[in-house]
């Protein structure tokens, strides 16, 4: 019998089909900025947005100042809302797996690097219905793979680390979780996820 009692999912790239390059590409085209410069800005400031230290307007303003774009600095539209809503979509095959796991009495949770606006959108899409524990980076003040987010999660879950199974689409986040004793796998697609769940004795 599996020792796993709790299963934690990432949102972007797992429960929702989403890649950060989609928004950097859109912003690059719209404001006529090299995407490589926008990527540098994301590297510098995304963790501040994800951790809730700055809001979206401040995030774009910092990037605009970094690359010297007056048009981006003067923008007042929520680019995150516009391009996430346009490009992202619920990954229904994975959401259905999560619902099946919930039906099979596993405790379900989320650990996600996410901003307030994206959280609202995915909530409106009913992506989060199968889950009862929510660890959103902008609410916690830390983002993956910062060890403090895993400490926060384990302090608040009534389970031992080896009773928790974590699914994420970034290897760095998976590796960080494993250091805390969580059973963790890199998400690639629904077929491989089902195989991993089966290997750990998790009933879908």
Tens of pLDDT along 156-190? 999 999 999 999 999 999 999 999 999 999 999 99
Q: Is 132 exposed, middle or buried (0-12, 13-18, 19+ CB in 10 A)?
A: exposed
Q: Above 60 in pLDDT, residue 1?
A: no
Q: Above 90 in pLDDT, residue 109?
A: yes
Dihedral sign for Cα atoms in the order 138, 48, 45, 74:
positive
Residue 77 DSSP symbol: S
Q: How far apart are CA 125 and CA 159, in angstroms?
A: 29
Overall pTM > 0.85: yes
Instruction: Determine the pLDDT at residue 2.
Output: 73
Question: Where do the structural domains in the chain lie, given as residue ranges?
Answer: 6-17+89-199, 20-87
Q: Above 60 in pLDDT, residue 76?
A: yes
* 45 contacts 203 by C-beta, under 8 angstroms: no
* CATH code, residues 6-17+89-199: 3.40.50.1000
């Amino acid at each position: 019998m599996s020792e796993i009692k709790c299963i934690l999912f990432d949102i972007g790239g797992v429960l929702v089909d989403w890649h950060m390059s989609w928004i950097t590409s859109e912003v690059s085209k719209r404001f006529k900025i090299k995407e490589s410069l926008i990527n540098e800005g994301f590297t510098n400031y995304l963790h501040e947005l994800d951790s809730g230290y700055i809001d979206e307007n401040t995030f774009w303003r910092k990037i605009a100042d970094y690359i010297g774009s007056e048009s981006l600095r003067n923008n007042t539209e929520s680019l995150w809302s516009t391009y996430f809503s346009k490009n992202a979509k619920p990954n229904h095959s994975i959401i259905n797996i999560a619902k099946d796991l919930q039906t099979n009495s596993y405790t379900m949770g989320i650990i996600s690097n996410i901003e307030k606006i994206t959280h609202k959108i995915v909530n409106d899409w009913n992506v989060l219905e199968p889950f009862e524990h929510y660890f959103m980076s902008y609410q916690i003040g830390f983002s993956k793979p910062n060890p403090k987010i895993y400490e926060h999660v384990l302090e608040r879950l009534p389970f031992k680390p080896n009773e928790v199974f974590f699914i994420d689409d970034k290897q760095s986040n998976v590796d960080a979780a494993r250091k805390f004793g969580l059973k963790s796998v890199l998400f690639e697609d629904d077929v491989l996820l089902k195989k991993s769940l089966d290997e750990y004795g998790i009933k879908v």
